[in-house]
């Protein structure tokens, strides 16, 4: 970090400390994301993710720490909106300047895209984010964790030249999948792409279940510290697997992550049984919203896909109360799609009867 950047960072720190000491000056309320990111690498607005915000922030902090260890520093923020700026990209550019941050800063909002500022050009980052279909990820924290893995680059070292070869290698790695198709894999290539999309969707829904169980357990009253560490380890593993699933270029590479997802689920099942929390073994979606396990715990009865007696989350209950028909999240299978619950059945299944 240059001397000037360090000074700027100190200035931001002092300004925010002053703002805090003065007790929230009503005229110019400090941007909570700027305050948080001046001293940490992750921020999730409680106004976007409610009670899940601190657990999601912990996931993002783990992800940022892992990237920092690879010398690919990022700062990540889920915000309510671009406070005082015309667009999320303009807001992100200003925030990066305020923080004097030289790594990659990524910002997203509920239901919005991802804005990023860093050593890579905005155009290049936009292309990469689009290729990784980051915009299709519904959960903002997960969207950001995935985006970070896609665009973060190693910082230049003192002579300023080291990240280029590294980026070239990364680019060659990304091209790997493309070459296979270009070199006449033909129909096999198309089949493999469909398989890849299918495996990714299955992994994603199982990862959503893993995250929802972990967040549920993190909020379990009186969770002892040593058990909390297991839950945090599972969340850290989750963030890591999400990034690897996004970077995986073959169906086998995605399938290889299954064992690690199972490991995380086993860890959580262990914690649940030791502390007496509900977390039945056998069905990884048990206890979660029947519309989408990523929503979290099912707390009310609801009618899903026309079938009564399902358990749904508060948001889905509210949607149903306003007359919306609830239908279960679908995952691609063969030429069509099946309800996500099919993914939770028979985890040992080897051949795959659905294709
Ligand atoms: Zn729901």
**Three-state SS across 175-199?**
HHHHHHHHHHHHHHHHHHHHHHHHH
- Nearest CA among 195, 189, 238, 200 for reference residue 217: 238
Cβ pair 56, 49 in contact under 8 A:
yes
Ligand 1 centroid vs 80 CA: distance in angstroms?
21
Cβ pair 111, 137 in contact under 8 A:
no
Cα distance between the two ends of the chain: 52
Ligand 1 centroid vs 66 CA: distance in angstroms?
31
Ligand 1 centroid vs 10 CA: distance in angstroms?
43
Ligand 1 centroid vs 297 CA: distance in angstroms?
8
Ligand 1 centroid vs 257 CA: distance in angstroms?
26
Measure the CA–CA gap between 235 and 213, rounded to whole angstroms. 10
Ligand 1 centroid vs 128 CA: distance in angstroms?
30
Ligand 1 centroid vs 118 CA: distance in angstroms?
35
Ligand 1 centroid vs 323 CA: distance in angstroms?
15
- Nearest CA among 75, 88, 149 for reference residue 118: 75
- Nearest CA among 349, 193, 335, 149 for reference residue 258: 349
pLDDT at 266: 92
Ligand 1 centroid vs 60 CA: distance in angstroms?
23
Dihedrals phi, psi of 26, to nearest 5 degrees: -65, -30
Residue pointed to by tokens 């689009």: 130
Measure the CA–CA gap between 158 and 333, rounded to whole angstroms. 50
Cβ pair 105, 74 in contact under 8 A:
yes
Ligand 1 centroid vs 227 CA: distance in angstroms?
27
pLDDT at 133: 82
Ligand 1 centroid vs 198 CA: distance in angstroms?
22
- For CA atoms 140, 148, 87, 96, the dihedral sign is positive
Measure the CA–CA gap between 263 and 309, rounded to whole angstroms. 30
Residue 67 DSSP SS3:
helix
Residue 168 neighbours by CB under 8 Å, 6+ apart: none
Ligand 1 centroid vs 285 CA: distance in angstroms?
12
* Angle made by CA atoms 281, 206, 145, in degrees to the nearest 5: 130
Ligand 1 centroid vs 91 CA: distance in angstroms?
31
Residue pointed to by tokens 């899940």: 52
Q: What's the whole-model pTM score?
A: 0.51
Measure the CA–CA gap between 33 and 269, rounded to whole angstroms. 34
Measure the CA–CA gap between 87 and 89, rounded to whole angstroms. 5
Measure the CA–CA gap between 245 and 178, rounded to whole angstroms. 17
Ligand 1 centroid vs 303 CA: distance in angstroms?
11
Ligand 1 centroid vs 328 CA: distance in angstroms?
9
Ligand 1 centroid vs 277 CA: distance in angstroms?
20
In terms of C-beta density within 10 A (0-12 exposed, 13-18 middle, 19 or more buried), how is residue 323 classed? exposed
Measure the CA–CA gap between 202 and 270, rounded to whole angstroms. 23
Ligand 1 centroid vs 324 CA: distance in angstroms?
12
Ligand 1 centroid vs 29 CA: distance in angstroms?
34
> What is each CA distance from 228 to 63, 95, 141, 219, 231, in whole angstroms?
18, 33, 20, 10, 5
Report DSSP state, residue 153: -
Ligand 1 centroid vs 59 CA: distance in angstroms?
21
Cβ pair 296, 263 in contact under 8 A:
no
Cβ pair 93, 121 in contact under 8 A:
no
- For CA atoms 81, 52, 100, 168, the dihedral sign is negative
pLDDT at 281: 67
Ligand 1 centroid vs 292 CA: distance in angstroms?
6
pLDDT at 59: 84
Ligand 1 centroid vs 274 CA: distance in angstroms?
27
Ligand 1 centroid vs 316 CA: distance in angstroms?
4
Report DSSP state, residue 174: H
- Strand ranges in 58-103 using DSSP code E only, listed in sequence order: 74-79
Other beta carbons within 10 angstroms of residue 172's beta carbon come to: 10
Question: What is the total residue count of the chain?
Answer: 355
Ligand 1 centroid vs 314 CA: distance in angstroms?
7
pLDDT at 299: 92
| Token duo for residue 20 | 């805090």
pLDDT (tens place) for every residue of the chain, 355 residues total: 455 555 455 444 444 444 444 443 333 457 889 889 988 899 999 888 887 888 888 888 888 888 887 778 899 999 998 888 888 989 999 998 888 888 899 999 987 789 999 888 888 888 888 887 888 888 888 888 888 988 887 765 444 333 334 443 344 334 333 333 333 444 557 777 888 888 888 898 999 899 889 988 988 888 999 999 999 889 888 888 888 887 888 889 999 999 999 999 999 999 999 999 877 667 899 999 999 998 889 999 999 999 999 999 998 999 999 998 999 998 888 778 889 988 865 444 333 333 3
Ligand 1 centroid vs 150 CA: distance in angstroms?
29
């Amino acid at each position: 970090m240059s001397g000037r950047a360090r000074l700027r960072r100190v200035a931001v720190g002092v300004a925010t400390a002053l703002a805090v000491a003065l007790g929230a000056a009503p005229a110019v309320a400090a941007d909570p994301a700027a305050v948080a990111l001046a001293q940490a690498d992750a921020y999730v607005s409680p106004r976007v993710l409610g009670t899940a915000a601190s657990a999601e922030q912990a996931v993002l902090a783990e992800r940022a720490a892992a990237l920092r260890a690879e010398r690919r520093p990022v700062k990540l923020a889920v915000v309510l909106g671009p406070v005082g700026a015309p667009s999320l990209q303009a807001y992100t550019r200003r925030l990066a300047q305020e923080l004097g941050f030289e790594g990659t800063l990524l910002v997203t909002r509920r239901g919005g895209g991802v804005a990023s500022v860093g050593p890579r050009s905005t155009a290049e980052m936009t292309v990469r984010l689009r290729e990784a279909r980051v915009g299709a990820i519904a959960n903002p924290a997960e969207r950001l964790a995935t985006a970070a893995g896609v665009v973060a680059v190693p910082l230049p070292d003192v002579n300023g030249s080291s990240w280029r070869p590294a980026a070239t290698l990364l680019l060659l790695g990304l091209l790997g999948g493309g070459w296979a198709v270009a070199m006449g894999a033909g129909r096999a290539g198309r089949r493999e792409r469909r398989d890849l999309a299918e495996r990714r969707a299955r992994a994603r829904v199982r990862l959503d279940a893993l995250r929802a169980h972990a967040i549920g357990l993190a909020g379990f009253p009186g969770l002892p510290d040593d058990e909390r560490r297991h839950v945090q380890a599972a969340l850290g593993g989750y963030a890591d697997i999400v990034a690897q699933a996004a970077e995986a270029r073959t169906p086998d590479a995605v399938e290889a992550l299954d064992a690690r997802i199972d490991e995380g689920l086993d860890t959580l099942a262990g914690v649940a049984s030791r502390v007496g929390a509900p977390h039945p073994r056998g069905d990884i979606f048990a206890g979660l919203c029947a519309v989408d396990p990523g929503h979290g715990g099912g707390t009310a009865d609801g009618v899903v896909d026309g079938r009564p007696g399902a358990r749904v989350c508060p948001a889905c209950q509210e949607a149903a109360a306003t007359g919306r028909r609830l239908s279960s999240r679908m995952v691609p299978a063969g030429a069509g799609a099946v309800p996500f619950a099919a993914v939770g059945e028979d985890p040992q299944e080897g051949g795959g009867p659905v294709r």
